[in-house]
Amino acid sequence: MEIHAIEQRLLEREVALARPLLIALALLSLLLISASYSPALTFLICYLALSIVIAVAQALDSKDRWHFPLTADLIALAAFLIFTPSIVPFWFLLLIVAFAVGVGWGKRNAYAVVSALTLATLAWALAKNHTAWGDALHAFAVACGTLISGLGLAYLGNRNREQAAESHFLAGLTAMLRVERGVSESMRGMLSELAGAFHCERAILVHRDQDLERIFVWRWAQGQTEHVVPESLPLTATDGLLLDMPNVSVGWNSMDRAADGFGWDRFTGAPLQSVPRFPRPTQELLSLRSVISVTMEVEGQPTARVLLANSSRRFTKQDLQHLERIVRHIGPPLENLFLLRHLRARAIEAERSRISRDLHDGVLQTLLSIEIQLDVLRRKAAASPDQVATGLGTLQQTVRNESAELRRVVTDLRPLHVQSADLLDLMRGFLERFRNECEVQVDLLVNAEDLQAPDRVCREIFQIYREALNNIKKHARATHVVVKLTQSESCVTLVVDDNGEGFSFAGSFSGDELDRLRLGPISIKEHVRTVGGVLTVESSPGHGARLTVEIPLR
């Protein structure tokens, strides 16, 4: 995994802050050993002053133009080894280099540098004390301490680097799981990134959808650039794809030999005595040879599994642990992606039902009536031509009216983009059209001329307003409608009040109560729920109805 430039700068600043501290400790130890003036003392004072200047400059420079090269630290360390009268001050400078190399050059290079410095330390100690066997043992002990402390600091520096790289990788992976990208594109991006991070040829996500009662399999192969289209399989494939032990993380480097399997319980970490294998049909379906697999929870249940497979390298337990950490991180955003996909599917289904109902109750019924009337007129054509002419004129007007209604339906189906600055103009424009199509008197009262609301809220308000007036025109038989739009600091309120026939129920009901009783305008309830609003419907059969929608702005 590559580290991002921002994280790299933060790590470099950590080194810049640690450098003056350790140099100061080296200077203090040198003063305790010998307070007299020496070249080593001058060297450390200059080194400390330079490191402080660099640290302050890095902290104040937003363009990140100040750096202290690692090669400069190495040169300074080698030079100080010549001047120092004791190995103790040298230790502190070595710790600086070990940490800096671990951060900047990676673990292998850092260990090589520390080992080389340890040999230099041992050579220096032996050169200073080369006459006695006890002094040689002391030098060897010093070298061992130097090696252990140096490797420890190099490991910490490299660990910081790896964590920064992993954080950057996880942030990028999470950013791919967005609804606006689409499920297929999100899956392609996520699976390709996972495969690249582990140097794998294939990445697979298996998900059991409880609502649809199907197993969906997303597969990405090396070199694939097109969308990942899921394969739909029956629930009978659950044990083969998700394993009959959902709470385990497993790895196989060869499924033909039991010794090549490893795994553990993902909750307790206890190693498995018997590692479950993927059945042979599953191995062939997913082209599994060398594979690691981790369970993912969706809605609190272990109903998904991520698999990485290849044939060119063996997996290790560290790979499986790393994949577990990644899956725990991407689990929540992936779950949200699935949930939003379900909500979108349900919204589409509800909208299709509404369109089907409108067409069935409107245009289709009218066409059936026209067909019947045309049959009647055909029979009268020879005997009563005047009646036929009158009837055809009536039918022509009916067709004209239904064409206008069908045109309205098609217009309403077009994608709607509403901003707060355009909402009032759209409402007034629709009202003019509404008045031209029917004789209902409508008063629009607005107490929100400077309406400030998110675009999605404005879009749903307009949809609710339009749907409410259309319902009144079709069903209410009202003569007067009052629409009020107001805004407070916390919410936007829309009230639609008519003097028509009202609903079939009497009283005041909330949206949840209407859902339980299976009453009220379905489409309006869906629009209100989309933006987290509160719907209240008051009905008095024969005397009208009032619809109140309150949508929070925060």
Q: How far is CA 439 from CA 398, 442, 469, in A?
A: 17, 9, 12
pLDDT of residue 7: 64
> Does domain 417-554 fall into CATH 3.40.50.360?
no
At the top level of CATH, the class of 181-343 is alpha beta
User: How far is the C-alpha of 206 from the C-alpha of 218, rounded, in Å?
Assistant: 6
pLDDT of residue 443: 93
- Angle of helix 39-60 relative to helix 5-33, nearest 10 degrees? 150
Q: Nearest-CA neighbor of 309 among 185, 205, 236, 226?
A: 205
User: How far is the C-alpha of 542 from the C-alpha of 335, rounded, in Å?
Assistant: 48
- Beta-bridged to residue 304, according to DSSP, are 207, 296
User: How far is the C-alpha of 237 from the C-alpha of 216, rounded, in Å?
Assistant: 10
DSSP string, 238-288: HHHHH-S-TTEEEEES-TT-GGGEEEEETTT-PBPSSPPPPPHHHHHHHT-
Q: Where in the chain is the domain with CATH 3.30.565.10?
A: 417-554
Residues 6+ apart with CB under 8 A from 349: none
* Each residue's pLDDT tens digit, 173-202: 888 887 667 778 888 889 999 998 898 999
Comparing 482 with 449, which gets the higher pLDDT? 482
pLDDT of residue 416: 61
Tokens of 435: 């008045």
Q: How far is CA 418 from CA 144, 209, 379, 453, 455, in A?
A: 71, 34, 52, 11, 6
Tokens of 160: 């910081």
pTM greater than the 0.75 cutoff: no
Rounded to the nearest integer, the mean pLDDT of the chain is 82
**In the predicted structure, residue 264 carries a pLDDT above the cut 60:** yes
User: How far is the C-alpha of 444 from the C-alpha of 480, rounded, in Å?
Assistant: 11
Burial profile 15-45: b = 16 or more Cβ within 10 angstroms, e = fewer: bbebbbebbebbbebbeeeeeeeeebbebbe
- Read off the pLDDT of each residue in 438-465 and give the average, rounded to a whole number: 85
pLDDT of residue 59: 76
**In the predicted structure, residue 131 carries a pLDDT above the cut 50:** no
Q: Where in the chain is the domain with CATH 3.30.450.40?
A: 181-343
